[in-house]
Every structure is written in structure tokens, then in C-alpha cells.
Amino acid sequence: MDLQPMDVMKPINLSTQELDESQPLTSVEMGKLWVTYVGNSMSSQILPYFLQHCEDHYIRTLLENGLALSKDFLKRIEGFFKKDNFPIPFGFTQDDVKLGAPRLYDDEFYVHYLKYAAKAGLSLYAVAIPLVMRRI
């Protein structure tokens, strides 16, 4: 007898209404939030160093927007974790970046960093969105 995959593995039909905000975070949600938190904690420490050395007005605006976005993500994720009594990840801190260090990069590098960070974030979110079981 040939078993067909759909005979063995029956799909579960869950909707976002079934898993609302009162339910605890799933392991997938915890993992994706954790990775997002750590990545944004890194950016929230690196971007001030970049801003300290940036001379181009337009690139400075990009860096400021990136920093504001990273800080907003951190605040929101901390809220999700606190609501579920989940430990806040130990991300990057001020001890990980020496703000007084001399300039290492040209302003154009900062744009490349932001582009890479945006691509990494979009890739992470593209995987996470179908796996999230609730409306957050």
C-alpha cells in the first residue's frame, strides 16, 4: 500500500482568531522575536558610533531613522516578552562598541550596512510571517 503524504500528515486548519493575544507565545514566535531582538540590539549600539562620524546630511538622516526603528523594535519585543514572563535576551550593550574609537569607515559604508541590515530583516520577517500564529 502506497502512503500519500496527505494521508499521513493531516493539515491543521488554524486561524489567527483561534490563537489570540491571550495565548502564550509559541516556540517559533519566541525564536523569531529573540533573533529580531538581538539583531536590533546590535544596530542600536553600532548606529550611534556611525552617527558620531557621519558627515553626509542625507546619510545621517538614514542612520537616525534606522536607529529610531531599531529602538522601537526593541521596545515592542520587550513588551511581548514581559507580557509572557519570558526572559529578555541579553543583547548587545554599550560595552560592545567603543564610541570614542577613531573613524573606521567612509559614510558610504554606513549606507551599505543599512542596506544589508534591511535585507537581513526582510529575510527574517519573510520566514516569520507565515509561522506566526496570531495577530501581533
For the record, the C-alpha cell of 24 comes out as: 502564550
Q: How much is the pTM?
A: 0.79
User: What is the residue-level pLDDT of the chain in tens, covering all 136 positions?
Assistant: 565 555 555 555 655 555 566 778 888 889 999 999 999 999 999 999 999 999 999 999 999 999 999 999 999 999 989 999 999 999 999 999 999 999 999 999 999 999 999 999 888 878 777 777 665 5
Query: What is the per-residue pLDDT for 122?
Result: 87
User: How many Cβ atoms from other residues are within 10 Å of residue 30's Cβ?
Assistant: 15
Inter-residue long-range contacts of 112-119, CB under 8 Å, 24+ positions, other chains counted: 113/46, 113/50, 114/62, 114/63, 114/66, 117/39, 117/43, 117/66
User: Are the C-beta atoms of residues 42 and 73 closer than 8 Å to each other?
Assistant: no
pLDDT of residue 16: 52
- For 97-131, write each residue's pLDDT tens digit: 999 999 999 999 999 999 999 999 888 878 777 77
